[in-house]
Chain A
Amino acid sequence: MKGFSAQNLILWVVLATLVALLALQVQRSEASLGQPTAITGYLLIAIILALALFNMRKRLSMVPLGRASTWLLFHGMAGVLAIAVYWLHTGTLWPLGLYEQAIAVLFYLVSVTGIVGYVMQRIYPARLTHTGLEVIYERIPAELARLRTRAEEIVVACTNETTSDTLARHYFESFAWYFRRPRFTVSYLFGGNRGMHWVRHQRITVGRYLNDTERGFLDELTELSYTKTRLDMHYAMQSAMKAWLLLHVPLSAALVLLSLWHMILVHIYAL
């Protein structure tokens, strides 16, 4: 995980100060029988729209609109600000009306997916690098197929050379399952390494029934299995880093629409 720069720290301190001042102002306004919800409501909708602009910027990469990293920094800060302003606006964690509850569900889901995505993006890149393997996501299925073909060739070669089907039999009883598709995804997402443990276990299980020649083939198969484990790690973490956006962006779009409609309704009936 990369360090936190002094510049970023200053920005977060400024943000915290802003939130504190805003909270104080809301409290004062309520004490003097004012309507702070109107101010916080407009502020919140403005922040939500500003947050949505980040996705627009990604589509406009051909024009100089500043660095995406700067946008991401402000996107993250605006997201935190939005949570604080949301609570100041509603005054509760869970509103009463059905429509407001729908907005709350969307708001919390967008916030949670955003935070989860941010955390994943800070943790997974280093973990992927530490696998010692680099692969483009779209090429993973082809790589898996290549490994599977090679594994089957090893097993066939072993059978042909040793006239023993022990390794082949064990391959089709266990390793074939492993090579069929990515495995142990959940383990890799939470930092585990179940695949490596599984391969070691299979190696011990069958190793005692093999002679030296067969063990040579088993060594090759094990090496391939370890490569497959690293590919699975890439599949799991790269999938997660792509999938969270498929939740975050559509939920955000829905939140923008519901919030705008909420604003119109409040304008018509409450102000």
Chain B
Amino acid sequence: MATVAMMARPQRWDAPLSPDMTDDDVADLLRRNPIAKIKSDKFPEHTPLEGILRNDTRIVAHRAGDIVVRSGDYGNSAFIVLEGRLRVVIAPDLPADLLGRQDVAKKGFFEALAQLWTNRRVPEVRDVRRYDRTGVREGRDKAQSVVFLQDVPVVLEKHQTAVLAEGALFGELAALGRIPRTATVFAETDAKLLEIRWQGLREIRKYDEGFRRAIDERYRENALKVALRETPEFGHLDEDALQEVANSVLFETHGSFDWYITYQKMRGAGKQGAAHEPVIAREGDYPDGVLMVRAGFARVSIKMGNGDRTVAYLGAGKHFGMSELFDSWRSQGTEPLQASLTALGYVDLLRVPAPILEKYVFPTLTERPRSPVEIARNRTLSDDALLEWAVDGRFINGTKTMLIDLERCVRCDDCVRACSSTHGGNPRFIRHGRTFDHWMVANACMHCADPVCMIGCPTGAIHRTEQGGMVVINDATCIGCGTCANSCPYDNIRLVEIRDLDGNLLLDRDTQRPIQKATKCDLCATNPGGPACVRACPHDALRRVDFDTEEVFRGASS
């Protein structure tokens, strides 16, 4: 006979951000600005402000020179200055080495050739002297380590900065919008900060109108107009019209910010497809505005038989509902949505109301916008099968996905050997992965559009390069905490045990455990000629592709 066991239902705050937060801390925070200005009586009983402060925040101490956030990093927390003084770097941005990043310099031909004899007999050999100059300050645990500036006065002298004094809030736009941090902030003096994770930030924004208005205004002022100006629909507008559009735009987020944590479990349980995703707009409903994707991805699907057929996916800059609204405007009627829109993991949207489109966009259009549903009508199910698979597998996130045509691949592993010889004797990918028809997405870093691996790196060692936008790891500042490897939903980051120049395994003095570093494909950033794996394939079976291009899906049914 089957037996049952009892347990408490998991609750929202079972895992607080910090176990060290006390009632006294919460009481103290409630007296400080800007928390004191938040109207706690507006919060529901199940999510009181005190609960948010207790569970979704923590107090972090920084020493003078510590870098709190870096320009270009991704993060899911905002900060309030409680004590001390911070500086935000305005211009010029701090150089890569001060930020703890890798200065990607291409090797010359002969330097690259020299790897033939300079590669060691054992893999993952490092010159450990490099690690003495990194400026990494270790925290209580690895995840609390930070990169610090060794000479703050020089930085203040050479860079234009602004002061962030007690009560200042920063980092909220990147945390809520899943966009890279736009500036670097460091502690000028010893400082105490309140870190608020995105879940708490979202709740405060939801229940406190003043807080929401303040955040939205800051976004409208700082980033929205720039984003709108870059779109083909609003790029032609003058300043006043653009301001009117910006004032009317509504902000929406759908799905889970940390989708990558549950993604693999859901995939294992077969819970894939539009039916298991948060619905943003439903087929047959009447649209009140166009939805523009600001960050993340959304799936466009239509009902088909007993399931949902994916006809397209939308990434940053794409919009949904334009053709239906255009038809409604032209016919002076109401056209329902031809497709549903669901959040693929997490998506951040702008909703532009229909009257704004009718005033500024539709009269300027020379031809009717086409809906993905109309394009799909001329395509068979087989034509879109690869698209369906790529969306389910979230491979659409990749901008340099390693795609192998298995009908060409002779399994010679020349690609693996080429990777190994350009990376000190250890390949940075595995020629294995999920397959569909005759395509394989190998376990190689995809250099994602939404790089969740970068969230939470305590030293910013994993970052995007300024040139090329590749996601790379600075070996010198990587502390081997494994945050990036655990976050990668595709298992494309590996921790390796490193050795010194004599080939000896390096051990931690305190724990006697091997020192590890995170490694992944860097697209041969330091080697001339681009990715060695692509060049090494004698049968042109291996490509690095951006799933956002139509070309990838061509020939899916061949």
Contacts and interface: CB of A to CB of B under 8 A. Distances in A.
A238 B411 contact: yes
Interface residues of A, number: 27
Contacts of A238: 411
B535 A66 contact: yes
From A59, A61, A62, A64, residue with most partner B Cβ within 10 Å: A62
Given A68-B538, A69-B539, A128-B411, A134 B406 contact: yes
A96 B412 CA distance: 39
A62 B407 contact: no
Contacts of A67: 534-535, 537, 540
B114 to A, nearest CB: 9
Given A125-B406, A126-B407, A241-B410, A134 B440 contact: yes
B427 to A, nearest CB: 11
A137 interface: yes
A121 interface: yes
B115 A62 contact: yes
Interface string A106-140: 00000000000000010011101100001011000
Nearest to A245: B412
A69 B538 contact: yes
Interface in A136-195: 136-137
Given A60-B113, A134-B435, A137-B411, 4 more contacts: A2-B408, A61-B535, A67-B540, A68-B414
Contacts of A137: 411
B108 to A, nearest CB: 10
A226 interface: no
Interface string A46-75: 000000000000111111111111011000
Contacts of A124: 410
B538 A63 contact: no
B421 A62 contact: yes
Nearest to A238: B411
Interface SS of chain A: helix, strand, loop or mixed? helix
Q: How large is the interface on B (under 10, 10 to 19, 20 to 34, 35 or more residues)?
A: 35 or more
A121 B431 contact: no
Contact of A64 (B115, B438, B528, B537): B528
Nearest to A71: B538
B410 A68 contact: no
A242 interface: yes
B19 interface: no
Interface in B394-441: 406-412, 414, 417-418, 421-422, 431-432, 435, 438, 440
Nearest to B418: A61
Contacts of B432: 134, 136
B537 to A, nearest CB: 6
Contacts of A121: 410, 539
A126 B410 CA distance: 9
A140 to B, nearest CB: 11
A114 to B, nearest CB: 13
Contact of A59 (B116, B440, B529, B530): B116
19 contacts: A2-B407, A58-B536, A59-B116, A61-B417, A61-B421, A61-B532, A62-B116, A64-B528, A64-B529, A66-B535, A67-B540, A68-B535, A68-B537, A72-B538, A121-B410, A125-B409, A126-B407, A128-B411, A134-B406
Nearest to B416: A136
A271 to B, nearest CB: 38
Contact of A62 (B410, B412, B418): B418
Contacts of A59: 116, 421
